[in-house]
Amino acid sequence: MDLNPAKCYSIHFSRRKTRSHYNYTINHSIIKEVDSIRDLGVEVDRELRFHVHIEKICSKAFKSLGFVLRNSRDFTRPETKILLYNSYVRSTLEYCSVTWNPFYDVYKKKLERVQKRFLWHLAFSCNVAKTIQSYPARLKYFHMSSLSERRRTLDLLFLHKLVNEEYDAPDLLSLLNFNVPLTSTRASKLMVFRVPRFYTNLASASASRSNGGVPASTHAASNETLQYPQDALSHFQVLNRRLDRRRTPDADALDSNMFIGITSSGDNVNSHYDYLI
């Protein structure tokens, strides 16, 4: 197969301020070096911060949100607007999030701004904008979860399926450090992963990090998240329901109309999840 050098690019991944330049050629044609490149819908930058990707999906999500709000002006049921938001806006913000889930607060807040804008319009249309003003209160009122919480849930589900061999990814599985205690104690039974020493904030936010037996793909995980090995050995659907209850403590009191089955937006999670909106 012949390659077109004009459509080929090279990228050098490094977090150094000074980088080395190498000229790669195809048929004596020098390949252009770029700082970011789009691969399977994800914009990958040379420092692996994914800030370019976050900027682009936020811009696209705001445009889609404006389209949804303009065309749902005459709708009275909030469930319909939430369904449109999940289909056209939130799916963009969660596409392949296991790959680029940010650990800097500045990027988390930038992503959360889209949902805050939607909830403001939704509260205004339901005449509760003045009585319910805070973002957490609006999330609870409309039975929704924050985007950061949903990304952490997707990370935990991905880690659960990876450990239970539902994904054929030995390279990713080899990155996890399983704890093999020398002596059996109560604490060692909960420590499934061994915590290595990290020297960068990028490594400290990786999926192999664990905190007191709680696996975390982001540094925001705490004792409120899942604990292994009980959850690691449980059925996937049972784990999914547990995560739903943790995101919405009063799930039993919700109307059945608020439960909507959607397909996960990430390409690397090819399963049908029944998420609680």
Residue with tokens 């709708």: 75
Residues 44/50, Cβ–Cβ less than 8 Å: yes
What pLDDT score was predicted for residue 243?
62
Three-state DSSP class for residue 209: coil
What pLDDT score was predicted for residue 238?
61
What pLDDT score was predicted for residue 256?
34
What pLDDT score was predicted for residue 142?
92
What pLDDT score was predicted for residue 266?
38
Q: Which residues contact 40 (CB under 8 A, 6 or more apart)?
A: 96, 267
What pLDDT score was predicted for residue 260?
32
Ranges of the chain whose pLDDT falls below 70:
181-277
Q: How far apart are CA 201 and CA 203, in angstroms?
A: 6
What pLDDT score was predicted for residue 251?
39
**Model pTM greater than 0.75?**
no
Peptide linkage before 102 cis (omega within 30 of 0)? no
Q: Which residues contact 42 (CB under 8 A, 6 or more apart)?
A: 50, 53, 95, 96, 99, 100
What pLDDT score was predicted for residue 103?
84
Return the number of other C-beta atoms located less than 10 Å from residue 179's C-beta. 14
The domain locations on the chain are 5-34, 51-148, 150-263
Task: List the one residue out of 207, 211, 221, 209 whose CA is nearest residue 268.
Answer: 207
Q: How far apart are CA 86 and CA 273, in angstroms?
A: 14
C-alpha R_g of the chain: 21
What pLDDT score was predicted for residue 186?
62
Q: How far apart are CA 211 and CA 193, in angstroms?
A: 9
